[in-house]
Amino acid sequence: MQPSDASILSLKLPKLELSTTTDATGAFRPLLEQGFLIQIKDNNTVQNALCRQLGVPENYLRDRIQTVFLNGNAVDDETTAVVRDGDRLALSASMPGLVGATMRKGGFFSGLRAAISHQKSDVAAAAASNAVITIKLFNMVASEIGGIFLRKGILLRGEPFQAWWVHLKDDYRGQIASAAINGKNLGVEQIKSNIGEAPFVQLRVLFQ
């Protein structure tokens, strides 16, 4: 069974909650770009998953997010592409040059990438079961809507989280007002030792 599917929800994982004194989304950008796991309802369109379940504004998805990849295939219509348990979703603002124009959803040059375009999925049925998908946020998208996902709570693989934490700059650490693991308050310097070698970490960030 793949580690990115809904079976993760049955694991006993450390739940880390951070509260910051400012909107410190930029500090988490490396994690958002590497990819994080998040729970949705299975068998939903990309639009429904992002906007109705996770809270991304529909106008932001429509106007700001210009490149969408689902399992490595470029998506032209978020209302028909269906995302399911274990899928990988990458979101980006407009990229420069011919590559950016070619990958842009519904763009004039989209025909140049027919081989890697996502094919229309079957219409999503009513979804009841839980699913876990991987999301990657690139460039300004990470900074602009990363906070939506951090406030909701994301799942991170333990090793990348530990590496990020070790290299986190002191000025960002200074913005952390409080920290708790599994509801128990602790000092910022205790986070690494309390996470240990857990395969995944549940992270939630509250920006004051």
Average pLDDT, consecutive stretches of 10 residues, N- to C-terminus, the chain (208 residues): 64 93 93 96 93 97 93 90 94 66 53 48 61 95 96 95 92 93 94 90 93
What is the pTM (predicted TM-score) of this model?
0.84
Residue from 77, 200, 82, 93 nearest 137 by CA: 93
- Residue 53's region, left for phi above 0, alpha for psi from -120 to 50, else beta, is alpha
Residue numbers of the domain that contains 16: 6-207
Would 1 be classed as within a structural domain?
no
Would 175 be classed as within a structural domain?
yes
Would 22 be classed as within a structural domain?
yes
Would 41 be classed as within a structural domain?
yes
Residue 184 CB contacts under 8 Å (≥ 6 apart), including other chains: none
What's the pLDDT score for residue 105?
A: 60
Would 82 be classed as within a structural domain?
yes
Show the tokens assigned to 116. Answer: 């890697």
Residue from 166, 196, 191 nearest 181 by CA: 191
Number of domains within the chain: 1
CB atoms within 10 A of CB 35: 18
Residue 129 CB contacts under 8 Å (≥ 6 apart), including other chains: 6, 41, 42, 43, 85
What's the pLDDT score for residue 122?
A: 54
Residue from 8, 35, 127, 139 nearest 89 by CA: 35
